[in-house]
Amino acid sequence: MSEIIKVGMADLKTCVSPNGITTLGLGSCVGIAIRDPVNKIGGLAHVMLPDSNAIKSSQMNIAKFADTGIAELVKQMERLGAKRERMVAKIAGGANMFNFHGTSSFGQVGDRNVEATKAKLSQLKIPILAEDTGKNFGRTVIFYPETGDYIIRAVGKPEYKI
Amino acid sequence: MSEMSLEQVTENYYDVLKELGNIGAGNAMTALSQMLQCKVDMKVPQVRLLEFSEVGDMMGGEEQIMVGVFLGVDGDITGSMMFMVEEESARHLIQKITMGMLPPGSEFEEMGLSAMKEIGNIITGAYLNSLSTLTNLKIIPTPPALTVDMAGAILSVPAIQFGIFGDNILLIQSQFYDEIELDGYFILIPDLESYSKILGALGIPLI
């Protein structure tokens, strides 16, 4: 009996085949799905901000930031037996929800989240097999470590997968 | 200026927002009544400090389709404000204000969305006016932006701003009644420097 594990905002979880894992309503946040295609161990992180170092605060919500969230997800997957050298990723989100123009920081946060996500995955040498990022709409995603399918649902569009 | 965490700020700010919530909602409902040319009743607004994980549930789920109107705030305080209303409520408001000129189902086309932006503008304007009156600070809204999308996706915008300082979001929930019950959600997102200005203007000491 497979189930779908739910990940919230600023949250991350691991997921093992045959289960799927989902996060709902990604706006400017980014959903990073990672798996080891050999033993089908996977996980999903829903990150909100690019860089934990930029923020002077004592709070420790690791999953909130791209850099610490991705690192933690990878660590948790490794503890379950996933091998970093084999890991591959797919990413979605980072939208500019209100079509902010010009130099408004609100309009840039989605892009900056995507950039930080790519930078971290690159640093960890985890290739990105597919991405559906940017634009101006929200996305719900479902990831299946068994197949690597990353399914995307958006308002007013038929479901698609990357 | 000493650095403040959201925890410090929100203890005082929570009370402030309750006060603002009451006065602002009253103003907003008066404005809405005038716009819709009918009496609009409302319940006492609820101010809530929610964790990110809770907000989606409160609005009927992260995938609930909502209309979000976003505007920036300038002047003596800076930041932004957002007003959200459920899809069905938005369609109802749009139909009301366009006086049945739009065929049912077409509310989210150009004319209807333009009307909705105006509604959002007026409602948030009424809130900001109360803030301005109470604090004696100059508060100028910028032109509104609108989107129709999933609650979670729309909320990511203010959540990310609040996320810089903490793991909670401050929300004012206003229920108002026309022929049907409408739930409106207001989120005020001042920049950090502005929190202390607002508290200072209201004579509320920082901890």
Of A48, A64, A97, nearest to B147 by CB-CB distance is A97
On the question of pLDDT at A14 being above 90, the answer is yes
Contact A104 B72 (CB under 8 A): yes
Please report residues of A whose CB lies closer than 8 A to that of B167: 10, 59, 61, 64
Please report residues of A whose CB lies closer than 8 A to that of B3: 56
- The structural domains of chain A, ordered by start, are 4-161 (3.30.1330.200)
- ipTM confidence: 0.93
| Neighbour count for residue A123 (Cβ, 10 Å) | 11
Please report residues of A whose CB lies closer than 8 A to that of B68: 97-98
Among B5, B149, B162, B165, the residue to mutate for chain A (most A Cβ within 10 A) = B149
- Tokens matching residue B180: 């049907």
Distance (Å) from the alpha carbon of A38 to chain B's nearest alpha carbon: 33
Contact A25 B155 (CB under 8 A): yes
Contact B156 A97 (CB under 8 A): yes
Q: A-B interface: how many C-beta pairs under 8 angstroms?
A: 104
Range with the largest mean pLDDT of B23-27, B32-36, B137-141, B165-169 = B137-141
Q: What is the pLDDT of residue B1?
A: 38
Of A49, A98, A139, nearest to B160 by CB-CB distance is A49
Instruction: Determine phi and psi for A58, rounding to 5 degrees.
Output: -90, 0
Using alpha carbons, select from B75, B82, B55 the residue that is nearest to residue B157.
Answer: B82
- Report how far apart, in Å, the C-alpha atoms of A51 and of each of A29, B109, B191 are: 13, 38, 19
CB A65 within 8 A of CB A42: no
- pLDDT, mean of residues A69-92: 98
Assigned architecture for domain B6-201: 3-Layer(aba) Sandwich (3.40)
pLDDT per residue as tens digits for the range A114-137: 999 999 999 999 999 999 999 999
Contact B145 A99 (CB under 8 A): yes
Every domain of chain B and the residues it spans: 6-201
Please report residues of B whose CB lies closer than 8 A to that of A26: 152-153, 156
Could you give the CA distance from residue B3 to residue A85 in angstroms, rounded to a whole number? 42
- Report how far apart, in Å, the C-alpha atoms of B150 and of each of A95, A98, A161, B61, B187 are: 13, 13, 19, 9, 16
Q: What is the pLDDT of residue B109?
A: 92
On the question of pLDDT at A1 being above 50, the answer is yes
Q: What is the pLDDT of residue B3?
A: 46
pLDDT per residue as tens digits for the range B69-112: 998 888 998 888 898 999 998 998 899 888 889 999 999 999 99
**Which one from A15, A29, A109, A141 is the annotated catalytic residue?**
A29
Catalytic site includes residue A29: yes
The whole-model pTM stands at 0.90
Share of chain B above pLDDT 70, in %: 88
Using alpha carbons, select from A3, A42, A23, A61 the residue that is nearest to residue B63.
Answer: A23
On the question of pLDDT at A45 being above 60, the answer is yes
Distance (Å) from the alpha carbon of A97 to chain B's nearest alpha carbon: 7
Closest-CA residue of B relative to A62 is B167
Among A29, A112, A132, A139, the residue to mutate for chain B (most B Cβ within 10 A) = A29
Instruction: Determine phi and psi for B43, rounding to 5 degrees.
Output: -90, 165
On the question of pLDDT at B2 being above 50, the answer is no
Helix (H) or strand (E) holding A114: helix A105-123
Of A25, A48, A56, nearest to B150 by CB-CB distance is A25
Contact B152 A138 (CB under 8 A): yes
Contact B156 A28 (CB under 8 A): yes
Could you give the CA distance from residue B114 to residue B126 in angstroms, rounded to a whole number? 19
- Tokens matching residue B193: 């420097």
pLDDT per residue as tens digits for the range B177-198: 776 677 888 887 777 777 778 7
Please report residues of A whose CB lies closer than 8 A to that of B63: 24-25, 140
- pLDDT, mean of residues A51-67: 81
pLDDT per residue as tens digits for the range B38-68: 777 777 778 788 888 887 787 889 999 999 9
If you average pLDDT over every residue of chain B, what do you get?
82
Q: What is the pLDDT of residue A104?
A: 66
